[in-house]
Amino acid sequence: MASEFTGTGDPARSMALLWRGAAEPGPRPGPRPGLDVDRIVSAAVRLADAEGLVALSMRRVAAELGVGAMTLYTHVPGKGELVDLMLDSALAEMYPDERSVVTGGWRARLEAVARANWDLFLRHPWALHVATGRPPLGPGLMRKYELELRAVDGLGLPEVQMDLLVTVVTGFVRGTVGGVQEKADAERVTGITEDQWWAATEPYVAQVFDAERYPTAARVGPVAGEELGAYDPERSFEFGLVRLLDGIGVLVERPSRG
Amino acid sequence: MASEFTGTGDPARSMALLWRGAAEPGPRPGPRPGLDVDRIVSAAVRLADAEGLVALSMRRVAAELGVGAMTLYTHVPGKGELVDLMLDSALAEMYPDERSVVTGGWRARLEAVARANWDLFLRHPWALHVATGRPPLGPGLMRKYELELRAVDGLGLPEVQMDLLVTVVTGFVRGTVGGVQEKADAERVTGITEDQWWAATEPYVAQVFDAERYPTAARVGPVAGEELGAYDPERSFEFGLVRLLDGIGVLVERPSRG
DNA sequence: GAGGGACACGGTACGCCGTACGGAGATGGG
DNA sequence: CCCATCTCCGTACGGCGTACCGTGTCCCTC
């Protein structure tokens, strides 16, 4: 459950990998590579999608590709950099239709941003656990940042507020998708469904729970559990998104700004 | 950087540990224990606070306590359960003044909730990386849930919306604190400061960044970097919190609800 | 056509990790 | 007094990331 850490090595090498283009395949000595970075990254993404970051190991990825573990190190400096590459490749898939962020009013645009981020984390749950304090500054991230800024461009906001709005909306999604996604993770890893888990745990809760100490929880918990219990992932996201956008509306449509 | 997973074992054992009270220390055969769960948990919390979840290993915790690694297993079933206990103990420290969540109007109360969660993650950054899909239903979590519900009680909202509001506000904090906290993590782990990292990376960014493809980013990035660059953790939190509370206000103060 | 340097591949090994297993020594109850 | 029970923990296993180094292949030069 610890956060994976990303490329800590040579920034030059990392950037060259992230921006690997149709670079010079000029004839070089040595055998022709049978493997390349793209194949490694996509195998790693496939593995992480299916079994989570915990299952992602260099040996597993190598096995998936039918090569020796150490062969990966010919193409990628280490696991941290591989995760960076995975993340950037996942980000690059976002917004297949770039127009979605410049269509409609600010509200529709920001909603498109929120939903795109939501989809990202549903598609690639492991992305949630990648530390982004020093993000991989690759083409995927650059494109994402550009497109999300476009969603809040032209509203007459100062640049700093544009950046803040994007950060807040994407941050909100990160926070909200977390609790939900981890339930699915838990089910996959433990093989125990949400219902089974609750059925096994509830009797012990009943024993220790003191309704006099926690009257509000005693009143709200069962109702919320009943209505949200079958746990519809979208519910708190949709609810929170409306609140957040309403609040952003107060800023954006402030009369003093005409 | 993968997410730590929490107690996957026997729920009865987990619950008994979480709710370990001044339980029966009735005379039992065998030597008097020289170690107890509380000492293990607090040593583990100290270690994780100082060096992050990555550094948290059973051997390290045991060494910190001056005992053999396997001794820990006498008191705690495994690492997952230990993390559960750590989290619940961190949650139990929140809201030292319980009145803060019932003082003032709904806005002041929810702000208190948001700030308490913010403080939690600043104090215990590792808490951010603990998967909470199946949270440890201990006294700390119960108390937190109760207190946070009280902040939105008495507003005439349906119970489900009370639960949703709490989830959304705490989720927002999770999402927002993430990007910020991980920067500090990265600095601690790599020994490279934010400025050094950016100085090393920027030249390569300049090489590959295409201002024509990313005009909005080219305009906003430098301004935001200039103003937020020294990276004031509070900034996007404060900004987002105002937006979110404004939006919640639209719901809470809806005239149709009087 | 021959030689050499650069490169891809990958086996072995080291120091970590979580933890299963079982032994040694202490303790209190019958 | 004895023994069931409990604490403590050394050893060991299978996994991890990856440093190091050997092997074999290919292109470039002569």
Question: What's the pLDDT at B191?
Answer: 76
Q: Number of CB pairs < 8 Å for A and B? A: 300
Q: Which residues contact A144 (CB under 8 A, 6 or more apart)?
A: A91, A94, A95
Reply yes or no on whether the pLDDT at B26 is more than 70.
no
Residues in B touching A227 (Cβ below 8 Å): 160
In 3D space, the residue among B115, B36, B178 whose CA is nearest the CA of residue A174 turns out to be B178
Reply yes or no on whether the pLDDT at A24 is more than 70.
no
B156 plus B245 within the same structural domain: yes
Could you list the residue range(s) of the whole structural domain that residue A40 is in?
Answer: 1-11+32-92
B63 plus B157 within the same structural domain: no
171-210 of B, contacting A, C-beta below 8 A: 171-176, 178-186, 189-190, 194, 197, 200-201, 204-205, 207-209
What is the CATH classification number for the domain harbouring A110? 1.10.357.10
Partner residues linked to B130 by β-bridges: B4
Distance CA A164, CA A157 (A): 11
Residues in B touching A137 (Cβ below 8 Å): 201, 204-205
A105 plus A48 within the same structural domain: no
Q: Mark the nucleotides of strand D covered by protein, meaning any atom under 7 Å from a CB.
A: 4-11, 15-20, 24-28
- Asked if residue A71 keeps its beta carbon closer than 7 A to nucleic acid strand C, the reply is yes
Query: How many angstroms separate the CA of A9 from the C1' of C4?
Result: 33
**Mean pLDDT score, B79-102:** 96
Whether B25 is covered by a domain: the verdict is no
A86 plus A106 within the same structural domain: no
B167 plus B237 within the same structural domain: yes
Whether B193 is covered by a domain: the verdict is yes
A85 plus A101 within the same structural domain: no
Whether A19 is covered by a domain: the verdict is no
Q: What pLDDT, in 10s, does the model give residues A101-117?
A: 999 999 999 999 999 99
SS3 A4: strand
**Mean pLDDT score, B12-33:** 81
Chain B residue with CA closest to A80: the answer is B1
Q: Are A175 and B172 in contact (CB under 8 A)?
A: yes
Q: What pLDDT, in 10s, does the model give residues B172-183?
A: 999 988 767 777
As given in the structure block, the two tokens for residue A35 are 């493997």
Beta strand spans in chain A (E) = none
**Mean pLDDT score, A148-167:** 94
Question: What's the pLDDT at A5?
Answer: 65
* Domain final position from A92, A107, A128: A92
Question: What's the pLDDT at A158?
Answer: 93
Whether B3 is covered by a domain: the verdict is no
Question: What's the pLDDT at B252?
Answer: 93
Chain B residue with CA closest to A52: the answer is B2
- Asked if residue B27 keeps its beta carbon closer than 7 A to nucleic acid strand C, the reply is yes
A151 plus A195 within the same structural domain: yes
Question: What's the pLDDT at B101?
Answer: 96
Q: What pLDDT, in 10s, does the model give residues B43-81?
A: 999 999 999 999 999 999 999 999 999 999 999 999 999
Distances from the Cα of A246 to the Cα of A104, A105, B161, B162, angstroms:
16, 13, 16, 18
CA atoms within 13 A on the CB side of B195: 2
A122 plus A208 within the same structural domain: yes
Whether B162 is covered by a domain: the verdict is yes
- Cα A35 to chain centroid distance, Å, stands at 27
Which residue would you say has higher pLDDT here, B116 or B132? B116
Q: Which of A168, A181, A195, A232 to mutate to test the interface with B (most CBs of B within 10 A)?
A: A168
Whether A211 is covered by a domain: the verdict is yes
A114 plus A85 within the same structural domain: no
Task: Indicate the helix (H) or strand (E) that contains B150.
Answer: helix B139-151
A78 plus A198 within the same structural domain: no
Q: What pLDDT, in 10s, does the model give residues A39-91?
A: 999 999 999 999 999 999 999 999 999 999 999 999 999 999 999 999 999 99
* Domain final position from A92, A114, A130: A92
Which residue would you say has higher pLDDT here, A116 or A12? A116
B141 plus B193 within the same structural domain: yes
Which residue would you say has higher pLDDT here, A133 or A4? A133
Q: How many domains does chain B have?
A: 2
Whether B253 is covered by a domain: the verdict is yes
| B24 phi and psi angles, rounded to 5 deg | -50, 100
B110 plus B201 within the same structural domain: yes
* Domain final position from A92, A112, A142: A92
- The verdict on a CB contact (< 8 Å) between B5 and A186 is yes
What is the CATH classification number for the domain harbouring A57? 1.10.10.60
**Mean pLDDT score, B163-167:** 93
